[in-house]
């Protein structure tokens, strides 16, 4: 690595001014890297702020169109959707019924925003009354294979309604294979799968659970955490096995989640598989930036941009972030 030694070699030579620094910059964040998550709630009169995620709203089925338009005006053109259902049941049926919330949201947005890239988060926690990511077995744990059957239906429902990409996030064994088979059987062989391949059982999802209304606890016998399906934050080798399995099952893109506390995983997944690799800057990461900024401890714009750049440096090709529109505005302002 060393091409000399001090005093003949001085690395500060290339840091002397903006132009030179920009020329030797190794990683760049662009507006094409950004994906904006959106919460859409049914039967809502007006968009409602989410207390634990300052600046983020539960959108109505119409206000979401305007929010997408604002992001698009700044160059953000990829969106991932979370439905907030008022018809929850033990299976999350509302997410795979024709006329259900997922079906409606994608049909409306598809029609109103024909050029936007629409990603469906394929999971059940926002649609089940117990808040778990699939139907429960009698032991109160998520029934893996029962979930796969429903996942296939949910993926096809979203694709039919206009979703461009299906992103399974439930960490069920076999989820990519099940979704690929269901999509292909329904004629959606060109719909890519973005697998949340290495998703950890993280406390950083806290604000999301408020936002999407998917807390656990309603069922006496149900498990009170997601540790039987989401991964142990201590495990890096297992994260690679998870990703390898999803690649073998036909995933087109891989995701690591959360983002900043898991940079080593992003880096390892990118290096190992050389696949399009996405990172999710999750609700808790975003809330920390906002909270620190509100207290005057950090500058929000700088902290947001640095954290996104570092996710890219680690190996992320694209980033899901609640700050996507803010970041696009900052990029535009220079």
Catalytic annotation, pick one of 66, 138, 227, 257: 257
Q: Give the bridge partners for 194, in sequence order.
A: 253
Q: Is 121 in the site for ligand PBG (CB under 6 A)?
A: yes
Among 79, 188, 200, 208, binds ligand PBG (CB under 6 A): 208
Q: Is 231 in the site for ligand PBG (CB under 6 A)?
A: no
Q: Is 125 in the site for ligand PBG (CB under 6 A)?
A: yes
Among 277, 283, 321, 325, binds ligand PBG (CB under 6 A): 283
- Helix axis angle, 300-314 relative to 283-294, nearest 10°? 150
Q: How far is the CB of 204 from ligand PBG (least distance, A)?
A: 6
In the complex with ligand PBG, the residue whose CB is nearer, 154 or 329, is 154
The H or E element that residue 320 is part of is: strand 318-321
Among 57, 205, 229, 262, binds ligand PBG (CB under 6 A): 205
| Cis amide leading into 229 (omega within 30) | no
Q: Is 289 in the site for ligand PBG (CB under 6 A)?
A: no
Q: Give the bridge partners for 119, in sequence order.
A: 80, 165
Cα distance between residue 312 and residue 240, in whole Å: 19
Q: Is 66 a catalytic residue?
A: no
Among 76, 118, 119, 123, binds ligand PBG (CB under 6 A): 123
Which tokens belong to 304? 């947001």
Q: Is 169 in the site for ligand PBG (CB under 6 A)?
A: yes
Q: Is 318 in the site for ligand PBG (CB under 6 A)?
A: no
| Cis amide leading into 258 (omega within 30) | yes
In the complex with ligand PBG, the residue whose CB is nearer, 80 or 116, is 80
In the complex with ligand PBG, the residue whose CB is nearer, 162 or 259, is 259
Which tokens belong to 324? 């996507």
Q: How far is the CB of 283 from ligand PBG (least distance, A)?
A: 3
Nearest to 146, CA basis, from 132, 164, 165: 132
> Within its chain, how far is the Cα of 250 from the centroid?
19
Stretch that binds ligand PBG, among 13-21, 23-31, 71-79, 120-128 (CB under 6 A): 120-128
Question: Contact at 8 Å (CB) between 131 and 85?
Answer: no
Tally the C-alpha atoms within 13 A of residue 254's C-alpha that lie toward its C-beta. Answer: 31
User: Which segments within 262-314 are labelled E, that is strand?
Assistant: 277-281
The H or E element that residue 295 is part of is: none
Q: How far is the CB of 286 from ligand PBG (least distance, A)?
A: 7
What Rg do the C-alpha atoms of the chain give, in angstroms?
A: 20
Q: Is 199 a catalytic residue?
A: yes
Q: How far is the CB of 251 from ligand PBG (least distance, A)?
A: 16
Stretch that binds ligand PBG, among 58-66, 119-127, 136-144, 179-187 (CB under 6 A): 119-127
Among 50, 136, 282, 324, binds ligand PBG (CB under 6 A): 282
Q: Is 188 in the site for ligand PBG (CB under 6 A)?
A: no
Q: How many residues bind ligand PBG, per CB under 6 A?
A: 8
User: Phi, psi at residue 170, to the nearest 5°?
Assistant: -90, -5
Tokens 């080798």 belong to 237
Q: How far is the CB of 243 from ligand PBG (least distance, A)?
A: 17
Q: Is 101 in the site for ligand PBG (CB under 6 A)?
A: no
In the complex with ligand PBG, the residue whose CB is nearer, 68 or 167, is 167
In terms of Cβ atoms closer than 10 Å to its own Cβ (0-12, 13-18, 19+), residue 35 is buried
Would you name the residues annotated as active-site residues?
199, 257
Q: Which residues bind ligand PBG (CB under 6 A)?
A: 121, 123, 125, 169, 205, 208, 282-283
């Amino acid at each position: 690595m060393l091409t000399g030694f001090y005093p003949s070699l001085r690395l500060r030579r290339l840091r002397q001014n903006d132009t030179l620094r920009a020329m030797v910059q190794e990683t760049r964040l662009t507006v094409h890297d950004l994906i904006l998550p959106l919460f859409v709630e049914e039967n809502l009169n007006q968009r409602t702020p989410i207390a634990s995620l300052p600046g983020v709203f539960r959108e109505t089925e119409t206000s979401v169109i305007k929010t997408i338009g604002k992001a698009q005006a700044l160059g953000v053109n990829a969106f991932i959707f979370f439905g907030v259902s008022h018809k929850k049941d033990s299976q999350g049926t509302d997410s795979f019924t024709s006329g259900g919330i997922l079906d409606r949201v994608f049909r409306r947005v598809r029609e109103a925003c024909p050029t936007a890239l629409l990603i469906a988060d394929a999971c059940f926690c926002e649609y089940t009354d117990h808040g778990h990511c699939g139907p429960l077995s009698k032991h109160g744990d998520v029934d893996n294979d029962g979930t796969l059957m429903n996942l296939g239906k949910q993926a096809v429902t979203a694709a039919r309604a206009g979703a461009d990409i299906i992103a399974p996030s439930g960490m069920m064994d076999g989820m990519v294979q099940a979704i690929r088979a269901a999509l292909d059987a329904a004629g959606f062989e060109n719909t890519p799968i973005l697998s949340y391949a290495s998703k950890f059982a993280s406390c950083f999802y806290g604000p999301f659970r408020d936002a999407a209304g998917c807390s656990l606890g309603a069922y006496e016998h149900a498990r009170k955490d997601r540790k039987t399906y989401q991964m142990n934050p201590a495990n890096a080798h297992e994260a690679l096995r998870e990703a390898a399995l999803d690649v073998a099952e036909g995933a087109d893109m891989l995701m690591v989640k959360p983002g900043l506390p898991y940079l080593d995983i992003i880096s390892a997944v990118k290096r190992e598989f050389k696949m399009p690799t996405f990172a999710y800057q999750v609700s808790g990461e975003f809330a920390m930036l906002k909270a620190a900024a509100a207290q005057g401890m950090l500058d929000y714009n700088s902290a947001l941009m640095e954290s996104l750049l570092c996710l890219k440096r680690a190996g992320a090709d694209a980033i899901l972030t609640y700050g996507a529109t803010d970041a696009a505005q900052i990029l535009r302002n220079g």
